[in-house]
Chain A
Amino acid sequence: EIVMTQSPATLSVSPGERATLSCRASQGLSSNLAWYQQKPGQAPRLLIYGASTRATGVPARFSGSGSGTDFTLTISSLQSEDFAVYFCQQYNNWPPGGTFGPGTKVDIK
């Protein structure tokens, strides 16, 4: 099973600043990686799929990059509603439903 790791565990950022979140896979994924945002008490929300394609309705300040084993989610200018936990998920390999990273919490500096 592919193991996903994310860094940092917590990222403290001021509103308006840029945030860069990392995700690494234990095996190559091609571009079969998604990013999710989760706020307290809510289900995760799909932000990015295919490593770099924004899901419907996702603001352009969110961008994804990378392929193989190393991926990045960038939030260009943090808004108040962006403070949340972000998860990456691989869907390239077993299990068929994919595996999730442990998450990066983005909080207010």
Chain B
Amino acid sequence: QVQLQQSGPGLVKPSQTLSLTCAISGDSVSSNSAVWSWIRQSPSRGLEWLGRTYYRSKWYNDYAVSVRGRITINPDTSRNQFSLQLNSVTPEDTAVYYCARSGRGYDYWGQGTLVTVSS
């Protein structure tokens, strides 16, 4: 059974960096068939895919246009986890953030982390 456990702060100040981690059990971040994504959800933007990392003989990353230039997603093979960093946050980045695995659809999700951007 795959489980994704998120960790990270729920409050970030404007202009600072949002950092979250997703620990994987029951699968491997280096799997040749899985893709690991970050998705956020807010009343104003709905469910929004932010980016992904995956391994196919080498590591690949893709990022949404809306956050490109501010986002980094990194795998950590030693800890079997992956992370999200979102720089220069504003109140518009306030949302529930999820990590998720996709194969055909997002079949496993983390528990979600409400991140509020406020001073």
Contacts and interface: CB of A to CB of B under 8 A. Distances in A.
A60 interface: no
B37 A95 contact: no
Contacts of A42: 112
Nearest to A94: B65
B113 to A, nearest CB: 11
B47 A46 contact: no
Given A97-B62, A100-B48, A50 B37 contact: no
Nearest to A97: B49
Interface residues of A, number: 26
- The CB with the most chain B CB atoms within 10 A, among A48, A100, A103, is that of A100
Contacts of A95: 49, 62, 64-65
**A-side binding surface: helix, strand, loop or mixed?**
loop
Interface string A40-80: 00111110111001011000000000000000000000000
A1 B49 CA distance: 12
Interface residues of B, number: 23
A44 B64 contact: no
A57 B104 CA distance: 15
B107 A98 contact: no
A22 interface: no
Nearest to A89: B105
Given A55-B107, A96-B52, A87 B47 contact: yes
Interface of A: 1, 34, 36, 42-46, 48-50, 53, 55-56, 87, 89, 91, 95-103
Given A43-B109, A96-B62, 11 more contacts: A34-B104, A43-B100, A46-B106, A46-B107, A49-B105, A53-B104, A56-B107, A89-B105, A97-B39, A97-B52, A97-B64
